[in-house]
Amino acid sequence: MQKLGDFKLPHFFNYPPYFTYSPRFFISVLQPVRETREKQIQLWKELILDYCRTQKIFIIRLEEEFPLFSNSVIERTLSHEAREAFLSALVAEGRAEWLDKGRRNCLILWHRIQEWADIIVNFVKDNGFEDSVMTVEEIRSGIESRGTELHGIDRMILMRALKLLEQKGKLAIFKGTSTDDEGVKFSV
């Protein structure tokens, strides 16, 4: 089984039809048969989410190399069209968001914002922080978050989850003199 670092790639990753290529350009394109294309898109969506989750990748930039989008073993690379189609399928499911109108940068949500909010609540309860104050940076990179999914979370995703919890009355966000000083008062 092929690996990317410590990540085990699925069997389809070495199956050339999932990197269907145009002989003229030697790059992959989407499968022309609808049923096969739908299966191809589903497999790629699952692979992208799983890889990003295990590698803690939150943003995919289409203009930059991304390890999943090429396979040197079978000498195939996904076309820009295929990359955008797979990411757009994730966007349609609410598992990703385009960060720009040109569709060059995609925010990957292997957990939806509500799920991240639930993870925060569990983190607060599990660590006895129910009536505590923490900085946003402590939640993202503090000792308490080490070994949790919150450690290293993208700041934009974290802030959206915190704002959702604030709307539900579970915490209050307060501004400091800089973004490093932004704080959260939990009332879970």
Residue 176 in contact with residue 182, Cβ under 8 Å? yes
- 3-state class (DSSP) for residue 185: strand
Does position 147 have pLDDT exceeding 60, yes or no? yes
pLDDT band, very low/low/confident/very high, at 38 (cuts 50, 70, 90): confident
- DSSP at 25: T
pLDDT band, very low/low/confident/very high, at 23 (cuts 50, 70, 90): very low
Alpha-carbon distance 111 to 89, whole Å? Answer: 16
73-117, pLDDT tens digit by residue? 888 888 888 889 899 999 999 999 999 999 999 999 999 999 999
Distance between start and end Cα atoms, the chain: 45
pLDDT at 56: 95
Does position 28 have pLDDT exceeding 50, yes or no? no
pTM of the model: 0.84
pLDDT band, very low/low/confident/very high, at 26 (cuts 50, 70, 90): very low
**Structural domains in the chain plus CATH codes:** 3-108 (1.10.10.570), 113-186 (1.10.10.10)
pLDDT at 125: 95
Residue 119 in contact with residue 149, Cβ under 8 Å? yes
Alpha-carbon distance 164 to 13, whole Å? Answer: 37
**133-135 and 96-98 strand pairing:** unpaired
Does position 167 have pLDDT exceeding 70, yes or no? yes
For residue 79, CA distances in Å to 38, 63, 95, 116 come to 17, 11, 21, 32
129-141, pLDDT tens digit by residue? 999 999 999 999 9
pLDDT at 81: 84
Residue 140 in contact with residue 153, Cβ under 8 Å? yes
CA atoms within 13 A on the CB side of 178: 2
Mean of all residue pLDDT scores within the chain:
87
pLDDT at 73: 85
pLDDT at 32: 61
